[in-house]
Amino acid sequence: MIKALAKLRNSGLAEPHHIALDAWLAATDNALDDWHEAERVSVAEFNKKAVQSFPKYMQASAAALERGFFEVLRYWLGRTENMVRDNWSSYRIYLIGNYGTDLALRREINRFLVVEDPYGWREFVGFGVQRGELRTDLDVDMTGSILEWTMDRFQDALLTEELDPGLFRRSGPVPEEKEKRIEQFVELLRRAVGSERAQATGKRE
């Protein structure tokens, strides 16, 4: 409707009413801008609250923490489906923030993740460094970024399979294959960012 009125305004057919029409269109445009801005802020705030409701990596079980950095990764990957069952609404909001927003809003969400570190990546990577399980020739922030990016995408794939069992295979996810993929993924990360000692430990396991 707004486009149609703007077209009418430019056609010259509504010459006597230009002033009123211009004022109405300007007010409507401003209202729409305000609405879009409010919507953007609301999505960003909901996304922040959703992410903050998820557990931090260092909140893994005492047994997993005792066994080390890569066991903690395995622990959380094995509990991925609980994000859907125990925190359904938050995960849906998280998905919208990750994949259903424009570039400007996604940039704001990314800035929040970097500054606030809601998952506790810095503390967790520091834990791995202190235990001598991570490579020392890689920058700590680089290691954290690699792990965060890959873990997020892999968990999204596992959760998508949980939400839509027929997406990847007709019979749905097979538990044995899921566990095998998790083991392969953890081993891949160990080889990529793990220290020589951690890689040797992984081979013995």
Report if residue 48 sits inside a domain: no
- Alpha-carbon separation of residue 199 from 28, 65, 70, 125, 188 (angstroms): 62, 18, 10, 16, 10
pLDDT digits (tens, 9 = 90+) for 92-116: 777 777 776 677 777 877 788 888 8
Q: Which of 69-73, 76-80, 157-161 has the highest mean pLDDT?
A: 69-73
Q: Which of 7-11, 78-82, 138-142, 163-167 has the highest mean pLDDT?
A: 138-142
Does residue 183 sit in the same domain as residue 145? yes
Report if residue 145 sits inside a domain: yes
Band (pLDDT 50/70/90 cuts) for residue 51 is confident
Band (pLDDT 50/70/90 cuts) for residue 164 is low
In angstroms, how far is CA 117 from the centroid of its own chain? 12
The Cα 21–Cα 5 span in angstroms is 8
Spatial contact of 95 and 153, defined as CB atoms under 8 Å apart = no
Does residue 39 sit in the same domain as residue 126? no
Structural domain of residue 39, as residue ranges? 1-43
Report if residue 36 sits inside a domain: yes
Count of structural domains within the chain: 2
